[in-house]
Chains A and B, each alone.
Chain A
C-alpha cells in the first residue's frame, strides 16, 4: 500500500510534516530551557558562590551531554526556521523546499560533528585521560 500525499500542502505526510513536527518539539524544548536558564543566571544577583555552584552542574558529564542536545535542538530549529522563511518569501522557496531539507540536514551534521567533540573535549579527557 502506498501512501498518497495530497497535493496542495507541505504539511501532511513525508519530510514536510516531520520537519514541522521537529520544529515544534525543538521550539517547545528550547523555550522551557530558556525559562530555567534565566533563573539560573539570575543567581548572579544573589552571590558569586550561588552562581558558581549552579554553573558547576553545567560542567558535569551528564549535563554536558544534555547541553549538546540543546545546541543540536537550537541549531535544527534555527536552520529549519530559515528554510520556512525561504519557503514563505523566496519565489522558488516552495519548489525547492525538499532540497532545502537535505541542505539543512547536511549543514546540521557538518556543524554538530566537530561541535559535539569540542563541547565534550573536557568531559572526554576527564573520563578517559588526555586526548592529546
Chain B
C-alpha cells in the first residue's frame, strides 16, 4: 500500500497586497452546492425522464400542473440558482486554468458572467411570472 506523501510547498506563502478568502469560499461552495445538487438534479432527471411516461408526457399542461405547487417552484428555483452558480464558478476555474493572456482571461470571464447573469434572471422571471392561462 503506497501512502500518499504530499511534499511541502517549495516556496513560502508570501502574498503581496490584499489577502482575500474568496478562493476558499468558492472551493467550499462547490462542495456544499454539489451535495445539495445531487438530490435536486438527480431527482429532477428521474421525475422528468423515467417516471410515468418520461419525457413523452411533458407538455405545457404538465408544467402548469407542477408550478401550481409552491413546492416545485421553490425546488426549481433553488436548482436553477445553485446549478448556475456552481457551473459558472466551475467555468471560471477552467478559464483561469487555460487562458494565459490577461486580456483573454478577462474577456472570457466577462462573457461567462454576462451569459450566466442573463440565464439566472430569465429563469427566475419565468418561474415567478408563469401564467397557466397564457395564449
Contact = CB atoms under 8 A, between A and B. Distances in A.
Contacts of A71: 45, 49
Given A45-B134, A71-B49, A95 B4 contact: yes
Given A55-B59, A81-B34, A119 B54 contact: yes
Given A34-B84, A38-B123, A51-B59, A78 B41 contact: yes
Interface size class of A (residues with CB under 8 A): 35 or more
A64 B55 contact: yes
Interface in B40-74: 41-42, 45, 49-50, 53-56, 58-61, 63
Nearest to A88: B31
Nearest to A9: B6
Interface size class of B (residues with CB under 8 A): 35 or more
A14 to B, nearest CB: 12
A32 to B, nearest CB: 9
- Interface class of chain B by DSSP: helix
A8 B123 contact: no
Interface of A: 7-10, 24, 27-28, 30-31, 34-35, 38-39, 41-42, 44-45, 47-49, 51-52, 55, 58-59, 64, 67, 71, 74-75, 78, 81-82, 84-85, 88-89, 94-95, 115, 118-119, 121-122
Interface of B: 1-7, 31, 34-35, 37-38, 41-42, 45, 49-50, 53-56, 58-61, 63, 80, 83-84, 87-88, 90-91, 94, 115, 119, 122-123, 125-126, 129-131, 134-135
25 contacts: A7-B4, A7-B5, A8-B7, A9-B6, A10-B4, A24-B94, A34-B84, A34-B87, A35-B119, A39-B122, A42-B126, A44-B63, A44-B126, A47-B135, A48-B60, A49-B135, A51-B59, A52-B60, A74-B41, A75-B42, A78-B41, A78-B42, A94-B4, A119-B55, A122-B56
